Amino acid sequence: MLDLAYVRANLPVVEEKLRARGMNPAVVLGDFAEIDRGRRTAITSAENFKAQRNELNDKISMLRRKGADVSADIEETKRLKSAGESLEAAATAADDRLREIMQAIPNLPQDSVPIGKSEQDNRVEKTWDGAEKAAGYTPPEFGFPALPHWEIGERLGILDFERAAKISGSRFVVHFGQGARLERALANFMLDLHTREHGYTEVLPPYMVNSKSLFGTGQLPKFEEDLFYCVNRKDLRVDPEAIPDERGDNSQTILNELERIDSLVPKGKFQDGDHWLIPTAEVPVTNLFRDETLDEAQLTTSFCAYTPCFRSEAGSYGKDVRGMIRQHQFQKVELVKFCKPEDSNAEHERLTRDAEAVLEQLGLPYRRMLLSTGDMGFASAKTYDLEVWLPGQALFREISSCSNYEAFQARRANIRFKPSGSAQGKSKKSEFVHTLNGSGLAVGRTYLAVLENYQQADGTVRIPEALLPYMNDPGKPRAEWETVIAPRKHAGRS
């Protein structure tokens, strides 16, 4: 969330930045200026009426001591009180409306962000394939037809989308054998790299959060449809076994119940006791410090967390229906930083390099994209996307998004820090920290990138050198380690 005083004092700049995002300032800001003026006028008038009442009360006390008639003065104090209360109510209503407007304003892009309308206007910052490559570089083709990861995984018997659909519906997958071990190996490799070499502290947070946490990081209220809300079984009035099927139709009963359940979801009121599945570890990890004031000595604080992530993928119907690109549940290693405002740009570069190091140690070709104003997220001031090369699909796909949120999330979550002192002109007044986060990396997408980039002509998949210790028993001689993922025995369907 932006600072109200900043928006008020820099309205033309805010409007310009909104237009750069492809948004209409009149729609986003509405009647902000008029409401703000009315609010301040109401507050000033209410304070004046209160001062007049105080003066009149003093006068009444003095007149009473003299035995004078004060009935007219008492009526005037009642009038002033009523008028003041009306103005206070108007100011409160204006506060609520301003809060709604402020919550809907996205973060303002930094000046270094390219202005554009969509992902087509994103800018390639670097391309890597063993070394940095020139702009426009595409990795060379294999000497055999490259397969997409879903075909590789199914042929090897390590991925099963059909059984996952039977268990849970579409956009899920089951991993078997070396495939399950590869998922675990990737997560452990990433966590070890970030904690041992990059200075992050590992965190294992809850996988469910309340709506106050989702508001703090910016998912609520704007992106509610992308989330999974948890309904307690006791809140259900309809037996789940009564869902309509070929035996009968009580669809209206079910529809009424679904509408009632939807009404349980808080609209504009953010609570402590409700539960939502996390869309990313960014939410619980950032909210570790919600409503806290840190010491300056604690900054920069860097956390990493490996968690499942749950997304409804609303609006993605028909997109990426095959494979693991777009799943309702996937695992991710998330990087989160809290720092001083003057350090956030440098920390953003450092965090992005930490994510790139995973790709480079795994030998996966990638490129860094600087997102344009038309493609960046709601809460971000600047975002780099890392896109990994997928030879089976002959394209680059996002595998990490690394963002500097500046004080946007910290203001929503009320995360501050106290400067160490007044030396060198520093103020002792607390300030909002800057928050940053990025995937380091999305494990599922790294998994499929390994399958596609390390596939062999004989149908096996070579294990990247960095993963060999994680895919084998370290107690065995290295000469006995498995170096490829081969077809799983008895992998056929029954």
Domains: count for the chain: 3
Helix axes 71-104 and 32-65, enclosed angle (nearest 10) = 160
Answer yes or no: do 366 and 420 share one domain: yes
* Residue 56 and residue 166 share a domain: no
Same domain, 218 and 238: no
CA dist 158 → 163, 178, 218, 341, 446 (Å): 12, 7, 37, 46, 15
Regarding predicted confidence, which is higher, 246 or 171? 171
Angle at 160 between CA 154 and CA 164, to 5 degrees: 160
55 against 464, higher pLDDT: 464
Q: Tens of pLDDT along 194-239?
A: 999 999 999 999 999 999 999 999 999 888 889 998 877 666 665 5
Better-scored residue on pLDDT, 258 or 82: 82
Task: Please check the confidence at residue 412 and state whether its pLDDT lies above 80.
Answer: yes
Choose the weakest-confidence range: 23-32, 135-144, 313-322, 369-378: 313-322
What is the three-class DSSP state of 70? coil
The rounded mean pLDDT for the chain is: 90
Residue 56 has a pLDDT of 85
Is residue 479 a contact partner of residue 469, using CB atoms and an 8 Å limit? Answer: no
pLDDT at 63: 86
* Mean pLDDT (whole number) for 269-285: 87
- Which has the higher per-residue pLDDT, 62 or 199? 199
CA distance 283 to 308: 12
Residue 403 in domain? yes
In what order do the strands lie in the sheet containing 431-432?
Answer: 292-295, 415-418, 431-432
Tell me if 196 is assigned to some domain.
Answer: yes
Mean pLDDT calculated for residue range 266-286: 83
Which residue(s) pair with 404 in the sheet?
Answer: 382, 436
Same domain, residue pair 352 and 420? yes
Residues 281 and 416 in one domain: yes
Q: How far apart are CA 474 and CA 468, in angstroms?
A: 9
Q: Is residue 490 in some structural domain?
A: no
If asked whether residues 39 and 181 sit together in one domain, one would say: no
Nearest to 409 by CA among 385, 381, 373: 381
Torsion angle in degrees (nearest 10) through CA of 247, 252, 258, 263:
-160
The last residue of one of the domains, among 104, 129, 149, is 104
Confidence of residue 425 (pLDDT cuts 50, 70, 90): low
Q: What is the mean pLDDT of residues 314-335?
A: 82
Residues 427 and 407 in one domain: yes
- Is 106 in contact with 379 (CB distance < 8 Å)? yes
Q: In which band, very low, low, confident or very high, does the pLDDT at 151 lie, cut at 50, 70 and 90?
A: very high
What pLDDT was estimated at residue 494? 40
Task: Determine the pLDDT at residue 17.
Answer: 97
Gyration radius of the chain over CA positions = 29
DSSP helix/strand/coil, 429: coil
What does the alpha-carbon distance between residue 449 and residue 455 come to, in Å, rounded to a whole number?
10
The string over 347-379, giving b where at least 16 C-beta atoms fall within 10 Å of a residue's C-beta and e elsewhere, is: bbebbbebbbbbbbbbebbbbbbbbbbbbbeeb
Q: What is the pLDDT of residue 244?
A: 52
The pLDDT assigned to 129 comes to: 96
**Range(s) of the domain holding residue 246:** 232-264
| pLDDT computed for residue 240 by the predictor | 53
Last residue of a domain, one of 57, 75, 104: 104
- Domain co-membership, 140 together with 191: yes
State the CATH number of the domain containing residue 469: 3.30.930.10
pLDDT of res. 34:
94
Q: Which of 197, 194, 184 is nearest to 447 (CA)?
A: 184
Mean pLDDT of 382-408: 97
Which of 34-43, 236-245, 479-488 has the lowest average pLDDT?
236-245
**30 found inside a domain:** yes
Mean pLDDT score, 336-349: 98
- Bridge partners (DSSP) listed for residue 127: 133, 367
Q: Examine the domain organization and report whether 293 and 163 are in the same domain.
A: yes
192 is a domain residue: yes
Positive or negative: CA dihedral 12, 13, 15, 16: positive
460 part of a folded domain: yes
Distant-in-sequence, close-in-space partners of 41: CB < 8 Å, separation ≥ 6: none
- Looking at the fold, whether 143 and 203 belong to one and the same domain comes out as yes
Q: Is the pLDDT of residue 163 over 80?
A: yes
pLDDT number for residue 401:
97
Q: Is the dihedral of CA 211, 214, 216, 220 positive or negative?
A: negative
In contact, 286 and 409? CB cutoff 8 Å: yes
Decide if 270 is inside a domain.
no
**Structure tokens, 205:** 């947070």
pLDDT band at 58 (very low <50, low <70, confident <90, very high): confident
In degrees rounded to 5, what are phi and psi of residue 116?
A: -165, 175
Looking at the fold, whether 199 and 299 belong to one and the same domain comes out as yes
Helices (H), 197-295: 211-217, 251-264, 282-286
Q: Domain ends where: 80, 104, 128?
A: 104
Domain of 96, CATH number, reads: 1.10.287
pLDDT level of residue 2 (50, 70, 90 thresholds): very high
Same domain, 283 and 220: yes
Range name among 239-248, 275-284, 288-297 with the lowest pLDDT average: 239-248
Question: Does a structural domain hold residue 409?
Answer: yes
Question: In this structure, what are the phi and psi dihedrals at residue 359, rounded to the nearest 5 degrees?
Answer: -65, -40
**Residue of 313 and 246 predicted with greater confidence:** 313
Residue 50, judged by CB atoms within 10 A of its CB (0-12, 13-18, 19+), counts as middle
pLDDT of residue 428: 78
In the block, which residue shows the tokens 């059909």?
162
